[in-house]
Amino acid sequence: MKTKLLPILLILLVGLNGFLIFMLINKPHQNFGSQQERNFLIEALQFSDNQKEEFISLDKLHKENMMNFENEVRKTKDLLFNSFSDETANIDSLSTVIGAIQTKKKLEVFRFFKSVRKICNKKQQEKFDKIINKAIRGGNQGQEQGRPPREGGMPPPPR
């Protein structure tokens, strides 16, 4: 019985490992999400063909910039967390660098959306502003900022 089960388990494990390697390399779940986000703005703003092309090139450049910033943050965090045994490492300096990179990321996001808004006509700009304002608020217009919802979704009692 055990000799028959062993090859089956081995084949199953090899198959699962192959699937996991595929998921790690291709990351189809991440590609789908970014494509969906891109299509949302294109459809919501009803871009013309020229606007679509310009938006896609802006989006590609934005994603490249964001990936570069992510890589910088990752490398700096690696330096920070690998410096436990190094007494000469300047932890404050490394954390300041991470903060500066995070600031650059925020500015990149702002510049990207500003560039997208520039390719819109007046009507599209109005709709774009509404979409961005809703995204900034996170869709929770009635909820206090920074506090999780209470159980049952009920507001707190009046004072």
Flag whether 96 is in a domain.
Answer: yes
Q: Is residue 65 part of a domain?
A: yes
Q: What is the DSSP letter of 46?
A: T
In tens, the pLDDT along 83-118 reads 877 777 788 888 899 999 999 999 999 999 999 999
For residue 150, tell me if it sits in a domain. Answer: no
In a domain, 29, yes or no: no
In a domain, 115, yes or no: yes
Residue 143: its pLDDT value, please? 47
Q: Tell me the per-residue pLDDT of 14-26, one tens digit each, with 9 for 90 and over.
A: 998 888 888 777 7
Per the structure, the complete domain to which residue 104 belongs is given by 38-133
Do the domain assignments include residue 124?
A: yes
Number of domains in the chain: 1
User: CATH no. for residue 73?
Assistant: 1.20.120.1490
Residue 159 maps to a domain: no
Residue 75 lies in a domain: yes
Q: What pTM value is reported for the model? A: 0.63
Residue type, 28: P
Of 3-7, 13-17, 70-74, 137-141, the one with minimum mean pLDDT is 137-141
- How do the residues of the chain divide into helix, strand and coil, expressed in percent and rounded to 5? 75, 0, 25
For residue 7, give Cα distances in angstroms to 2, 4, 10, 50. Answer: 9, 6, 5, 57
